[in-house]
Amino acid sequence: MRSPFELSGPNQPPRAGGKPRHLVVLLHGFGSDGNDLIGLAPHWAAVLPDTEFVSPNAPFPCEMGGFGHQWFSFGDRDPQAILAGTKAAANILNAFLDEALASRGLTDRELALVGFSQGTMMALYVALRRPQAVAAVVGYSGALVGAETLAAEIQSRPPVLLVHGDADTMVPVSELARAATALKEAGVAVTVELRPGLPHSIDERGLTLGGQFIARGFAGQSAAGEAAAKAK
């Protein structure tokens, strides 16, 4: 029987066919599931033709009931409780990422993380603390958890794109500036896109920017890998 902590969810194989050369892992928001963000894959397949998209369900049933999932509880809004929940879920997500990469013969340089809302919190927390940098992180409508410990805990500095609507009533738009400031102070290259009139959602502009950002991240890692190989 599958353990509840062995993540699973929908995936879309590479549009070009064959083995994936890259992997994009999509991390959904609170109360949703992997079927939500896998819908981004068809939009990005044209610019990422050799990429597999995987959208795992978060490990815990949503505390609000229904059929959704959560990465951690929002029942206690205390920052320390949220940090503790993020850390616990990070262990589960890291194990999933390690297995997903190993089973495909890929490394972190061929991986990108995309999150929405609570999924963005997970993507940022995990990516910055993995020993090897992933190719890119794209976060929609999210926030940075653990900013106060980031300087001491950061292990890699992947490029980050943060997109947030200024009409978001679920995650305050002030979290965008807060996250960007903390990331820049930690030496992370961060790109920010504020979307006018956008609520807690992803619009066409954000979708386009996300796909382009991931493609550049993969291209940059590929070029760096080739340069390193030539230098040996």
CB 11 within 8 A of CB 96: no
200 catalytically annotated: yes
Q: Residue 71 and residue 6: Cα distance in Å, rounded?
A: 13
Q: Residue 41 and residue 137: Cα distance in Å, rounded?
A: 15
Q: Which residue type does 58 have? A: A
**The tokens of 45 are what?**
């397949």
Strands (E), 71-152: 111-116, 136-140
Q: Report angle CA 47, 115, 122 to the nearest 5 degrees.
A: 140
222 catalytically annotated: no
Q: What is the largest CA-CA distance in the chain?
A: 55
168 catalytically annotated: yes
Residue in 33, 36, 108, 168 annotated catalytic: 168
Q: Residue 167 and residue 189: Cα distance in Å, rounded?
A: 25
Half-sphere exposure at residue 36, Cβ-oriented, CA atoms within 13 angstroms? 21
Residue with tokens 């943060």: 162
Residue in 200, 201, 203, 222 annotated catalytic: 200
- Quote the distance between the C-alpha of residue 102 and its chain's center: 19
Residue in 28, 32, 69, 117 annotated catalytic: 117
Q: Which residues are the active-site residues? A: 117, 168, 200
